[in-house]
């Protein structure tokens, strides 16, 4: 009788503890900033991320890395991850295989010269890729296209100048759950302007900020 009573009293408590643990588990969010490095925004963006204790992934364009290797180096030294976003940001599916290889190899070499490490992943411009392009990336640069379709994906649409700062902030902070990727663009001043508020709101929602590799590691 006593054992039954104890079990009756204990089960609701265990359930409450489990529910509290579930609610307190952080939601992993991976921001990716495309099309950099951008001299006009890079230092301010890195400062915002440092102040928030946030590590993110950058999708760097090879010609921009060649023009500003110090900016790619700064992102790497700050603990962020860098992806291969092609050399000139073309529609890769419109190129022949030799041109695709050139786009990816030149970018991988530029990032490695600037940072000492090769890009962690391939991240296609416009997210336009196919099996042939992915195979070229794998064979020529030794990296895979990041499997973003495995995760909850949010685009802030900040590439579109018609997207307002309020809309960018709302998109980045709405419907976020564990395993979310948030796509932004480094060159968009309004995104960097609103980033402190975005990160603060996501922290309030129980989010933690991780790189692509950390997101995939779980």
The predicted model scores a pTM of 0.88
Given this model, what pLDDT does residue 181 score? 98
pLDDT tens digits for range 164-210? 999 999 999 999 999 999 999 999 999 999 999 999 999 999 999 99
Enumerate residues 6+ apart whose C-beta is below 8 A from 36: 42, 58, 59, 60, 61, 64, 71, 75, 186, 187
Structure tokens at 33: 């900033």
The CA distance from 84 to 92, in Å, is: 13
Position 141 pLDDT exceeds 90: yes
Per-residue tokens: 70: 């110090």
Q: Tell me how far CA of residue 18 lies from CA of 87, 105, 196, 205, in angstroms.
A: 49, 49, 32, 19
The region, left, alpha or beta by phi > 0 then psi within -120 to 50, assigned to residue 35 is left
* pLDDT on residue 24: 65
Residue 22 confidence (pLDDT): 43
Q: In this predicted model, what pLDDT tens digit does every residue of 24-65 receive, in sequence order?
A: 689 999 999 999 999 999 999 999 999 999 999 999 999 999
Instruction: Find residue 106's DSSP bridge partners.
Output: none
Which 3 state secondary structure label does DSSP give 119?
coil
**Distance of alpha carbon 26 from alpha carbon 160, whole angstroms:** 31
Q: Which parts of the chain are beta strand (E)?
A: 27-36, 57-60, 81-84, 152-155, 180-185, 207-209
Mark residue 17 as left, alpha or beta (left: phi above 0; alpha: psi -120 to 50; beta: remaining).
alpha
- Please give the span between the terminal C-alpha atoms of the chain, in angstroms, as a whole number: 44
Interatomic CA distance for residues 191 and 155, integer angstroms: 12
Q: What span, in angstroms and rounded, lies between the C-alpha atoms of 145 and 49?
A: 25
Calculate the alpha carbon distances from 62 to 41, 108, 113, 116 in Å: 17, 7, 11, 15
Say how far apart CA 86 and CA 67 lie, in whole Å. Answer: 14
Write phi, then psi, for 165 (nearest 5 degrees).
-60, -40
Q: Please check the confidence at residue 103 and state whether its pLDDT lies above 90.
A: yes
Return all residues near 132 (Cβ < 8 A) that are at least 6 apart.
97, 100
């Amino acid at each position: 009788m006593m054992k039954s009573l104890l079990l009756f009293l204990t089960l609701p408590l265990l359930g409450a503890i489990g529910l509290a643990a579930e609610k307190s588990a952080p939601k992993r969010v991976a921001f990716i900033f495309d099309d950099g490095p951008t001299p006009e925004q890079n230092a301010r963006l890195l400062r915002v991320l440092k102040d928030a204790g946030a590590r993110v992934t950058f999708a760097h364009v090879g010609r921009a890395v060649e023009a500003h290797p110090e900016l790619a180096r700064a992102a790497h030294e700050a603990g962020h991850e860098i992806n291969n976003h092609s050399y000139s940001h073309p529609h890769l599916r419109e190129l022949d295989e030799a041109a695709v290889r050139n786009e990816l190899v030149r970018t991988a070499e530029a990032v490695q010269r600037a940072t000492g490490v090769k890009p962690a992943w391939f991240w296609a411009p416009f997210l336009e890729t196919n099996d042939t392009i992915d195979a070229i990336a794998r064979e020529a640069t030794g990296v895979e296209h990041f499997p973003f379709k495995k995760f909850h994906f949010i685009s802030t649409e900040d590439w579109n100048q018609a997207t307002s700062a309020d809309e960018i902030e709302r998109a980045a902070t709405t419907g976020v759950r564990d395993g979310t990727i948030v796509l932004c663009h480094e060159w968009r001043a309004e995104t960097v302007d609103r980033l402190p508020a975005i990160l603060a709101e996501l922290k309030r929602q129980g989010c933690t900020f991780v790189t692509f590799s950390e997101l995939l590691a779980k």
